[in-house]
Amino acid sequence: MAAELSRTVLEAPHGGILASERPTGTAAFSYGFRPLFLAAGSWAGIAIGLWPAMVLGYLRPPTRLAPVAWHIHEMLFGVVLAAVAGFLLTAIASWTGRRPVSGRPLGALLTLWTLGRLACLLAADLPAASTSVPDLQ
């Protein structure tokens, strides 16, 4: 039985991953870490760039949070949780042997994350209920 299993894995294309287990969609959306790590890193640079301008009063975006609270919120919920989600979406597929979240569902998750970032930044101009829903992710 072990010989049959090893023969099946060795004969499987792409390094032992069967075609039914490979991710779908474009390479950018084939594993969770790719778009979410890119989004987390990009948003970290943007948010860190915006924060000093907000603290010094040069930039006043329509957010409901004070500049320090906004910075804390975005570093925790915008950057850290996007990176953790990207890691877990990739690792869980590897740990369980299941197909990773990829393609349109992953794109929808990234869109929801982006809406959460915009909702927090523009919260004062939006109804309170509409800003909390996308930010919960």
Rounded CA separation 29/120 (Å) = 25
Structure tokens at 65: 């949070």
Range of the domain at 123: 32-136
Total number of domains constituting the chain: 1
Q: Is residue 60 part of a domain?
A: yes
pLDDT for residue 25: 64
The pTM is what? 0.75
Rounded CA separation 45/41 (Å) = 6
pLDDT for residue 50: 92
Q: Please state, rounded to an integer, the average pLDDT across all residues of the chain.
A: 82
Q: DSSP 3-state assignment of 122? A: coil
Instruction: Give the 3-state DSSP-derived string for 66-99, with helices as H, strands as E and coil as C.
Output: CHHHHHHHHHHHHHHHHHHHHHHHHHHHHHHCCC
Whether the predicted pLDDT of 26 surpasses 90: no
Please answer whether residues 113 and 32 qualify as being in contact, where contact means their C-beta atoms are separated by less than 8 angstroms: no
Q: Is residue 19 part of a domain?
A: no
Q: Is residue 62 part of a domain?
A: yes
pLDDT for residue 136: 64
Q: Is residue 132 part of a domain?
A: yes
The percent of residues above 90 in pLDDT, for the chain, comes to 50
pLDDT for residue 56: 94
Q: Is residue 92 part of a domain?
A: yes
Q: Is residue 10 part of a domain?
A: no
Q: Which of 76, 77, 65, 69 is nearest to 116 (CA)?
A: 77
Span 41-86, pLDDT tens digits: 999 999 999 999 999 999 999 998 899 999 999 999 999 999 999 9
Q: Is residue 124 part of a domain?
A: yes
Rounded CA separation 34/88 (Å) = 12
